[in-house]
Amino acid sequence: MARINLLPWREAAKKKREKNFYIATGVSAALSLVVILIVHMEMEDKIKFQKHRNQYLTEQISVLDNEIKEIKTLELSKARLLNRMKVIQQLQKSRPEIVHLYEELVLATPEGAQLLSVTQEGSNIKIEGIAESNSRISSFMRNMDKSPWLTDPELIVINAKTKEHPNFSWFSLKVRRSRPNEKS
């Protein structure tokens, strides 16, 4: 049998296999790089798109925040206007009350008594005056107690025969103003 040397052929086949391996490795590495590059570009596009959306949402949020501030200032001015309207309505409602108050004071004041000052703080009224006798002051207080516009008369002080009014008794009393249509 003849001896055939297969070493060069095996070596050529081995080199061919190595060459094919390196080519396949290079091609797969190149394909991997291309796939990675495509995936990276796609992710960059998605990130850019999301950043654009975030920027748009941030802008819209700032617009809405400004509108909310404007609404709050409008609500505040609305509340102020409503309070003013309420005060005006109360003033309009209480306008005729002072007339009733003075009328009741005139009707309640007995003959022989004079009112020197009438001051009002809220619903409390302080009355100072002079009278010929203490019975006139008592009559004045009873008349106020009967009035639907005046309640709870309370005598503070009586001074008999002062220097300013030697023949009269000076008095000071408190009374509360009421509204006949209000329920206490």
Tokens read off for 10: 């095996």
Fold of 97-177: Alpha-Beta Plaits (3.30.70)
In the chain, domain spans: 97-177
Task: For residue range 17-63, list pLDDT tens digits in order.
Answer: 999 999 999 999 999 999 999 999 999 999 999 999 999 999 999 99
Output the average pLDDT for the chain: 89
Alpha-carbon gap, residue 184 to 179, rounded angstroms: 9
Alpha-carbon gap, residue 21 to 81, rounded angstroms: 88
pLDDT at 184: 42
pLDDT beyond 80 at 81? yes
Percent of the residues in the chain that have a pLDDT greater than 90, as a whole number: 52
Tell me the pairing of strands 150-160 and 113-121: unpaired
pLDDT at 163: 72
Alpha-carbon gap, residue 80 to 74, rounded angstroms: 10
Task: For residue range 116-154, list pLDDT tens digits in order.
Answer: 999 988 889 999 999 988 888 899 999 988 888 888 898
Alpha carbon dihedral 66, 69, 73, 76, in 10-degree steps, equals: 160
Residue 183 pLDDT grade (very low, low, confident, very high; cuts 50, 70, 90): very low
Contact 172, 157 (CB under 8 A): yes
pLDDT beyond 90 at 68? yes
Alpha-carbon gap, residue 144 to 126, rounded angstroms: 13
Contact 169, 137 (CB under 8 A): yes
Q: Could you tell me the strand order of the sheet in which 113-121 lies?
A: 113-121, 124-131, 169-177, 150-160
